[in-house]
Chains A and B, each alone.
Chain A
Amino acid sequence: MNYMPGTASLIQDIDKKHLVLLRDGRTLIGYLRSIDQFANLVLHQTVERIHVGKKYGDIPRGIFVVRGENVVLLGEIDLEKESDTPLQQVSIEEILEEQRVEQQAKQESEKLKVQALKERGLSIPRADTLDEY
């Protein structure tokens, strides 16, 4: 099959290990098994990878069917270089805890920022109201 020159077709990426970044910020890693014209994806042996700082943890997710519109980014993983990472793998519990701590810290700093802006009579639009558009 001829594909448009200068463009990539996901067909050629089938059965390769891929990292998929979803619109909600989740990172999935799994084997791309099937696609369609909407870039709906079927990922196999999927893990959800959570990165916090230099640590990461994998949560097994099995088969993951992703609706195409939710894909932000997708790329093949070089299996040879996969293990060659400066990041440190930790257990699921640990990474979840780390993530929780990080999110808490983020929320807090966000709160402070809003407060500070409020005092100056400014307001920033909330992220979730922006999301709707």
Chain B
Amino acid sequence: MFRYQSLEDCPLDEEDEAFQTLGEEDEDIDQFNDDTFGAGAIDDDWQVAHERLAELEERPATAGEQADGAVSDEMDLLGDHEENLAERLSKLVIDNELEDPAIMQAVHTQPLVQTGGLNPSIWDGPAVLRRIRGPLLTQEVPSVSVLEYALPQRPPQAREEERDLSERALPRRSSSPVIGSPPVRAVPIGTPPKQPTVPNFNQQILCPKPVHIRAPIQQRYPSPYSERMSPNQLCNVTNSSLLGHPFPPSVTPVLTHLQRAQLLGGAQAGRMSPSQFARVSGLVSSPLASMNSKLIPGRVGQMISPASGFRAFFGAPPTQQHSPCPGSHLQNLRPQMFRPDTTHLHPQHRRLLHQRQQQNRNQHRNLNGSTGDRAGHRSSHQEQQRKDPYANLMLQREKDWVSKIQMMQLQSTDPYLDDFYYQNYFQKLEKLSAAEEMHGDGPKKERTKLITPQVAKLEHAYKPVQFEGSLGKLTVSSVNNPRKMIDAVVTLRSEDDETKEKQVRDKRRQTLFTIEKMYSLLLDVEDYERRYLLSLEGERLALMEERKQKICDMFDNLRGKTPSQERLSDDHFVQIMCIRKGKRLVARILPFLSTEQAADIVMATARNLPFLIKKDAQDEVLPCLLRPFSLVLYHLPLGTVTNLLQQLGNLPQSATAPAPANLHLTAVLQNKFGLSLLYLILSRGEELQCSDTNTELMQDNQWTELMFMATRELLRIPQTALAKPVSTPSNLVSLFSRYVDRQNLNVLETKLQLVQGIR
């Protein structure tokens, strides 16, 4: 009571001050909301919406005052205000563009406090009541609502008491405990009622035994019950009504709904936001009063957001909710209330429901048949409604909100880093579809593509709240500052530690470690292309330098080069090449290396090929090197190619003396990779020789000698031992024709062709 009065009597200027301080608070709270839900979650300023609502409120208030004098025709008044109300409702629903359901709910419920047309008058005390009661009583149109049954112990005469309670209970909220809205400017006491439900409300209390029932008014009551009442209260209502009172016909369907709601176990409670709980039940003390306060706000909240309340519960299609005509709204409601669709219900529920319906129908017949007729008249209409009255319990707006939150989690300033696999997957898909388009078959398929809203990188320095002298930190988790699961300190081990440990470790481990290190280098190098494209002009040179350095590092690692070392041993390289991962690594690194570096790698490979072949017997990944090797070969001059062939033949110097059997070369020929590589080298060398006529004599001779040796070896090896090459260069036959006689050429040809044929 005290609270009520103080707020009510609050002078305007004081209120303004309060506004200002609250406004500052609000900014904090806005920031807090942003922190919690992310900057995008709550786009709209509720304050703006709030003011809009308040404006809407002012107008009907004045209209109501004028209408006060002309209460003579009660029906007109009713109709009038229904329209007003509905208009306001539809406006509210349409105007309000808030995104957050929680906020939305709050704003939707707020009007019940400030909606001068509805509430203040309800609580306004006897003067108003008397004024309205007069005409209603004389017209003898008392009406009954569930309310009465909900409060059966209340003596009808105790008007004073009731008023006190209601006043105390009135949650004329200055600021929401949750959202922190500023005080609502209240309509002064004594404002004439703008809502015809008010008189009825009081009417019922005075006339507990109904004579005539006004259905349209009745129907405004059910929803608050089903929506906002606790199961216990529902119990009271249903029990008392079923057991004791003669049941007014138009109320019964409500009860079946209530019962259903109760049986279904609190779906309604779930829809109530915490803020509503706080606001509605937190501020009231007496149970009776709490009931009141729950009922009225509930109803108004319900009416104001019909899309959430009515539709969800009674299954009216959403389109009709926005119809400006209030009559249609209520009419839609009614038939459904009389004939609830039960097919979807659980058998047990249905049985109970059926029982109750039977009961109610009996009472119904005894009392009044007219409303029942009307209901029957509309039953066909009801059948056209959707089968599932519980569908769309989740509003489109709520769905959008959820998906928005989900999408927000996908927002990233660097999608390539944050979502590497997804990005790559789609790059692959794009390539695939591009290839399909190239072939030109079929119309272009449009793939849906995820477009996440681009957010500017928000530097959001988060400082955890800390109190002086307190232990630990307060953790506030939000979208931007997710709760830290592990607060681990990352210590990078120094290179010294590594080397120390290396000495203890066996060689293989060391090699594996080197490979890992090179892979990370390689990934870095591979990323440079992307970074280059993203970088500014000025940074590019530095980037290039960095990249070059990294590539050099890679090569040094690969060859086991240390600054002190002058002469390179192949040992390190061979170790790497013995590991499957290492071979793939070399294949990936080669394209990045300079020609000399690459040639060095190829040479080293050729030199140690028999050994590598032996080690590769299980893995068989050496062929993956062919492609990068052939690319390297195409950049090599004849001299190097000759060298390479020499290495492959393992000839210390020019092979003058015909070796009895070149084991090295034999091993190479018996391997798929070895043979393919040999072919590649021969083919490339021949190409070079043909194209470049001015080759030095020395080199030419050397090449010829090597060619002889190679062909000799090829002829010697039994056909069965010859491996199947990955590919056979086309110019091989013409190449051989220059070095062997007719007969041998035929032999070779059949051998090679046979090989091709088998392949």
- B263 and A5 contacting across the interface, CB-CB below 8 Å: no
Q: Which residue from B348, B393, B400, B409 sits with its C-beta under 8 Å from A33?
A: B393
Contact of A133 with B by CB under 8 A: no
Quick one: CB contact mask for A29-46 with B, threshold 8 Å, 1 for yes?
001011111000010110
Q: Which residue from B267, B400, B407, B449 sits with its C-beta under 8 Å from A44?
A: B267
Given the interface contacts A5-B447, A5-B448, A34-B394, does A45 sit within 8 Å of B344 by beta carbon? yes
Contact of A124 with B by CB under 8 A: no
Contact of A9 with B by CB under 8 A: yes
Contact of B510 with A by CB under 8 A: no
Contact of A65 with B by CB under 8 A: yes
Residues of B within 8 A of A102 (CB): none
Residues of B within 8 A of A63 (CB): 264-267, 270
- B264 and A14 contacting across the interface, CB-CB below 8 Å: no
How many chain A residues have a CB neighbour from B under 8 Å? 24
Contact of A83 with B by CB under 8 A: no
A42 to B398 CA separation, bound complex (whole angstroms): 14
Residues of A within 8 A of B410 (CB): 4
- A14 and B394 contacting across the interface, CB-CB below 8 Å: yes
- A37 and B391 contacting across the interface, CB-CB below 8 Å: no
Q: Which residue from B266, B346, B399 sits with its C-beta under 8 Å from A60?
A: B346
A44 to B402 CA separation, bound complex (whole angstroms): 19
- A11 and B267 contacting across the interface, CB-CB below 8 Å: no
Q: For residue B345, which residue of chain A has the nearest CB?
A: A45
- B263 and A62 contacting across the interface, CB-CB below 8 Å: yes
- A14 and B399 contacting across the interface, CB-CB below 8 Å: yes
Residues of A within 8 A of B406 (CB): 9, 37
Distance in angstroms from A39 CB to nearest chain B CB is 10
Residues of A within 8 A of B405 (CB): 37
A26 to B515 CA separation, bound complex (whole angstroms): 48
Distance in angstroms from B427 CB to nearest chain A CB is 14
Q: Which residue from A1, A15, A36, A60 sits with its C-beta under 8 Å from B388?
A: A15
Q: For residue B404, which residue of chain A has the nearest CB?
A: A1
Q: For residue A32, which residue of chain B has the nearest CB?
A: B394
Q: For residue B408, which residue of chain A has the nearest CB?
A: A37
Residues of B within 8 A of A60 (CB): 346-348
Residues of B within 8 A of A88 (CB): none
Q: Which residue from A1, A2, A6, A42 sits with its C-beta under 8 Å from B267?
A: A42
- A2 and B451 contacting across the interface, CB-CB below 8 Å: yes
Distance in angstroms from B26 CB to nearest chain A CB is 26
Contact of B435 with A by CB under 8 A: no
Q: Which residue from B266, B346, B409, B449 sits with its C-beta under 8 Å from A5?
A: B449
Given the interface contacts A14-B394, A31-B390, A47-B346, does A3 sit within 8 Å of B265 by beta carbon? no
Q: For residue A5, which residue of chain B has the nearest CB?
A: B448
A35 to B347 CA separation, bound complex (whole angstroms): 26
Contact of B411 with A by CB under 8 A: no
Distance in angstroms from B103 CB to nearest chain A CB is 16
A37 to B41 CA separation, bound complex (whole angstroms): 13
Q: For residue B312, which residue of chain A has the nearest CB?
A: A33
- B450 and A62 contacting across the interface, CB-CB below 8 Å: no
Quick one: CB contact mask for B256-295 with A, threshold 8 Å, 1 for yes?
0000000111110010000000000000000000000000
Residues of A within 8 A of B267 (CB): 33, 42, 44, 63
A14 to B396 CA separation, bound complex (whole angstroms): 11
- A11 and B399 contacting across the interface, CB-CB below 8 Å: yes
A45 to B348 CA separation, bound complex (whole angstroms): 11
A37 to B405 CA separation, bound complex (whole angstroms): 7
- A1 and B403 contacting across the interface, CB-CB below 8 Å: yes
Residues of A within 8 A of B264 (CB): 44-45, 62-63
Residues of B within 8 A of A15 (CB): 388, 390-393
Considering the complex, which residues of chain B in the window 28-61 have a beta carbon less than 8 Å from any beta carbon of chain A?
none
Q: For residue B391, which residue of chain A has the nearest CB?
A: A15
Given the interface contacts A1-B403, A63-B266, does A33 sit within 8 Å of B346 by beta carbon? no
A35 to B406 CA separation, bound complex (whole angstroms): 12
A129 to B344 CA separation, bound complex (whole angstroms): 42
Q: For residue A34, which residue of chain B has the nearest CB?
A: B394
Q: Which residue from A9, A36, A44, A65 sits with its C-beta under 8 Å from B390?
A: A44
Considering the complex, which residues of chain B in the window 341-371 have a beta carbon less than 8 Å from any beta carbon of chain A?
344-348
Q: For residue B450, which residue of chain A has the nearest CB?
A: A4
Considering the complex, which residues of chain B in the window 420-436 have a beta carbon less than 8 Å from any beta carbon of chain A?
425
Q: For residue B406, which residue of chain A has the nearest CB?
A: A37
Most chain A CB within a 10 A radius of its CB, from B388, B392, B399, B451: B399
- B450 and A2 contacting across the interface, CB-CB below 8 Å: yes
A60 to B409 CA separation, bound complex (whole angstroms): 37
Given the interface contacts A60-B346, A62-B265, does A42 sit within 8 Å of B400 by beta carbon? no
A11 to B391 CA separation, bound complex (whole angstroms): 13
A6 to B448 CA separation, bound complex (whole angstroms): 9
Residues of A within 8 A of B345 (CB): 45
Most chain A CB within a 10 A radius of its CB, from B347, B348, B450, B451: B450
A5 to B422 CA separation, bound complex (whole angstroms): 10
- A1 and B450 contacting across the interface, CB-CB below 8 Å: no
A9 to B407 CA separation, bound complex (whole angstroms): 11
Distance in angstroms from A113 CB to nearest chain B CB is 38
Residues of A within 8 A of B393 (CB): 15, 33-34, 42, 44
- A11 and B403 contacting across the interface, CB-CB below 8 Å: yes
Distance in angstroms from A6 CB to nearest chain B CB is 8
Residues of A within 8 A of B451 (CB): 2
Distance in angstroms from A88 CB to nearest chain B CB is 18
A4 to B425 CA separation, bound complex (whole angstroms): 13
Quick one: CB contact mask for A1-26 with B, threshold 8 Å, 1 for yes?
11111100101001100000000000
Distance in angstroms from B372 CB to nearest chain A CB is 28
A63 to B407 CA separation, bound complex (whole angstroms): 28
Residues of B within 8 A of A6 (CB): 425
- B392 and A37 contacting across the interface, CB-CB below 8 Å: no
A78 to B265 CA separation, bound complex (whole angstroms): 26
Considering the complex, which residues of chain A in the window 52-92 have a beta carbon less than 8 Å from any beta carbon of chain B?
60, 62-63, 65
Given the interface contacts A5-B449, A11-B402, A63-B267, does A45 sit within 8 Å of B346 by beta carbon? yes
Q: List 21 A-B contacts (CB under 8 A).
A: A1-B403, A2-B407, A2-B450, A5-B450, A6-B425, A11-B403, A14-B399, A15-B391, A31-B390, A34-B270, A37-B402, A37-B409, A44-B264, A44-B267, A45-B344, A60-B347, A62-B265, A63-B264, A63-B266, A63-B267, A65-B270
Please list the residues of chain B having a beta carbon within 8 angstroms of any beta carbon in chain A. Answer: 263-267, 270, 344-348, 388, 390-394, 398-400, 402-407, 409-410, 425, 447-451
Please list the residues of chain A having a beta carbon within 8 angstroms of any beta carbon in chain B. Answer: 1-6, 9, 11, 14-15, 31, 33-37, 42, 44-45, 47, 60, 62-63, 65
A42-B393, A45-B264 known; 10 new pairs, CB 8 Å cut-off, are A1-B403, A1-B404, A11-B399, A15-B393, A31-B390, A37-B402, A45-B346, A60-B348, A63-B265, A65-B270
| CB-based closest 7 A-B pairs | A5-B448, A15-B391, A62-B265, A63-B265, A37-B405, A34-B394, A33-B393
